[in-house]
Amino acid sequence: MKKENKVTLCIDKSFTVGKVDKRIYGSFIEHLGRAVYEGIYQPGNKFADENGFRKDVIELVKEIDVPIVRYPGGNFVSAFRWEDSVGPVEERPARLEPAWGVVESNRFGLDEFMNWCKKVGSEPMYAINLGTRGIEDAKNVVEYCNIEKGTYYSDLRIKHGVKDPYKIKLWCLGNEMDGPWQIGHMTPEEYGLKAGRAGHLMKMIDPEIECVVCGSSGIGMPKFGEWERVVLENSYDNVDYISLHTYYDNEEDNTPNFLASNVSMDKFIESVVSICDCVKATKRSDKTINLSFDEWNVWYHSKKKDAELEKWTEHPHQLEEDYNLEDALLVGSMMITLLRHADRVKIACLAQLVNVLSPITTTDNGVFKQTIFYPFMQSSRYGRGEVLNTIVKVPTYESKHGDAPYVDSVVISDEENGALTVFAVNKNLEDDFELTCDLRQFSDYKVEFHSVLTHKDVKAGNTENNPDEVKLSDNTSTAVNDNGVLKTTLPARSWNVIRLKV
């Protein structure tokens, strides 16, 4: 091992970033491709239950432990009529869905989604249409979902066989409304006013709800920054979070640059936090707007295939990524970046959950785990508690995103369950790194396991016929020595989870 290939983690249990909001491990189901149909819902399939829900998918979603699921879009929502998705299935209309160029049957809708959420143990994050529709429609769907009885829409829900209100707490006020691709896209002034008025009316119906206002569709948008400022100036008092979206690709086939993408993600988060606090100061407000990073992932493998799809068909194979090891490493680094900002990032949604840009892929014969399943699942299962301010002393390398550390890492302390978790990604494609961390403040903690995801080929991925090409393995040599120092090796090209318990 080269002398310089060492990484030191410096932590102190008194210096924390913030408590992890479990909703940071959320995901996303959009009416897009096979996310819904043939994804979570496939009546007649041998794996389907009495409701048509794929039982094999339910088990994997439970394994990840997804606390919230954003629904029904995405770009889809900006021309969506929520009324089409409730009531007797046989009476629901099929509609042209212009955002993705398909036909939406509405056989699966709001009532089915809420039933599915109960099955998997997730809470809904429901998006309303602020593209082609307005604040009255926003009011109506809140009434349908959250009012107990005695009004038109609450009684309509009861008529549809749902006695108890859904009590949806978290609502998205549209989607990517600055994007020229978005149906009904607006200027920041137009959208800020509309979103603020919608949030105001929705909270009059149910004061307990929280609202997410749309930030820019990405840091590369022409009006990024100005959009956030103007939107918040016009909606601040009626919203609770602002959204961030980002996807990264390796179309230039430069793995070191690709694995450094979370450096840009870090700058994105810090910029939006600054804008939120600037508006807070100018308004002399005591209220803090936090962040909802409700779309993030790797997306590029499927774009060429998607360009050849026939329009106006039902649930075609759209945005179906074949993820590889390097994608999983970046997803792990992005998850670490979100955790390192846990003081302000309270919600995040890996986009998406099944078949579309997903950790889970279904076939007629079952399901298999894409490479990105593992860092997402392990982060969710082991990343609960307090984020420690983790200083990572490690060499860096030059990238198009700026200087990037060879190792990304963060430490989570879960005192309630007597656990300490180290997440780490070694981005070096050739060399292992020797990791040390002084744990004398955690003298009662011993290594429970060190899980590693790696492969000799960064382009290796999983398929239906070879579902375990890239899978987790154990590093059994990791230990805390007599001086209270954790020592281990992070293999080249690896995602690592080191779990210690009292």
User: Residues with catalytic annotation?
Assistant: 176, 295
Who contacts 227 (Cβ-Cβ below 8 Å, separation ≥6)? 178, 188, 215, 216, 221
Distance CA 316, CA 38 (A): 10
What are 361's strand-pairing partners?
A: 368
Q: How far is CA 214 from CA 130, 188, 208, 231, 281, in A?
A: 11, 10, 20, 8, 20
- In the numeric block, which tokens belong to residue 211? 């609202």
Q: Is the peptide bond before 161 cis (omega within 30 degrees of 0)?
A: no
Strand order in the sheet with 407-414: 16-19, 386-388, 407-414, 419-426, 494-501, 446-453, 472-474
Who contacts 350 (Cβ-Cβ below 8 Å, separation ≥6)? 26, 27, 28, 296, 297, 331, 359, 372, 376
Distance CA 403, CA 435 (A): 20
Distance CA 452, CA 470 (A): 10
Which amino acid is it at 464?
Answer: E
| DSSP 8-class letter at 55 | H
Q: Give, rounded to a whole angstrom, the gap between the first and last alpha carbons of the chain.
A: 32
Is the Cβ–Cβ distance between 408 and 361 less than 8 Å? no
Q: Is the peptide bond before 72 cis (omega within 30 degrees of 0)?
A: yes
Q: Which helix (H) or strand (E) holds 157?
A: helix 152-159
Tokens 């020592």 correspond to: 487
- Taking only Cα atoms into account, the Rg of the chain, rounded to an integer number of angstroms, comes to 23
Is the backbone of residue 436 left (phi > 0), alpha (psi -120 to 50) or beta? Answer: beta
Give the closest residue to 133 by CA, choosing from 86, 193, 198: 198
Q: Three-state DSSP class for 135? A: helix
